[in-house]
Structure 1
């Protein structure tokens, strides 16, 4: 049995975005309970050379929308990458979810063979199925897991069940 490109992308990205929404709810409640300025959590990093929490949300959103755009040879919506609050991040997730919801299974039929050039300067070209399996999904989940780790590092009460959805 093979997995369709739709099932390999849209529901997977939606699930990760739902985890990110749960993190925001729990982080916001934690900030209120502990009297922490929410900006501290939104700008928190695991290491000085890593993106802050807001950047993890931005990259997860970008990975999901650009993966589908590349597979379907369409343009993804552009977002400013200026989110500075929990509500800003929620809005970005909502816009990403709305974009993902616009894709049908039929729109992704045959995209496993479409040649996708990896972003950046590498010039590497992969078939769509390999691009999703070896680049887009690992990249997406890296940013979801890093958002998780940032909030755990800051003391927010999130756990594995929140990650798994």
Structure 2
């Protein structure tokens, strides 16, 4: 089973249908609207614009587990992302990424180590996981790693589906 088989709803209800991303590279990011790292939405959107036509998408996963920094309703989150950062990439329902109620998507992701070897619990908002076209987790990036950093861009380019 790959992450493409996990069931999760879209931000405004209904299935987010992760299966539609099978064969693409996906950067899964737990996001929040009231965090010091929230400006990363701009870099995430630029990645979306830069690589979307080559079989890539960012998938934002709102989470309110870190100091209540994503308190909004689905409508408020969607409006904030669109109006403030021009976000066009898909967003899922708000989920828990740690603890007993951790969403199954994150149960599949957290075993992957980042560059420092960290595995397990998500440390903060904007932790990033790159999923390859086959559904395997290929990279994990710490929350402070900027979306357009050399290492993230290189990993995305390496995982884009063949043309």
With structure 1 as the length reference, what TM-score do the two structures score?
Answer: 0.28
**Which is bigger in relative contact order (C-alpha 8 A, separation at least 6)?**
1
The structure with the largest helix share of the pair is 1
With structure 2 as the length reference, what TM-score do the two structures score?
Answer: 0.28
The structure with the largest strand share of the pair is 2
The structure whose Rg is larger is 1
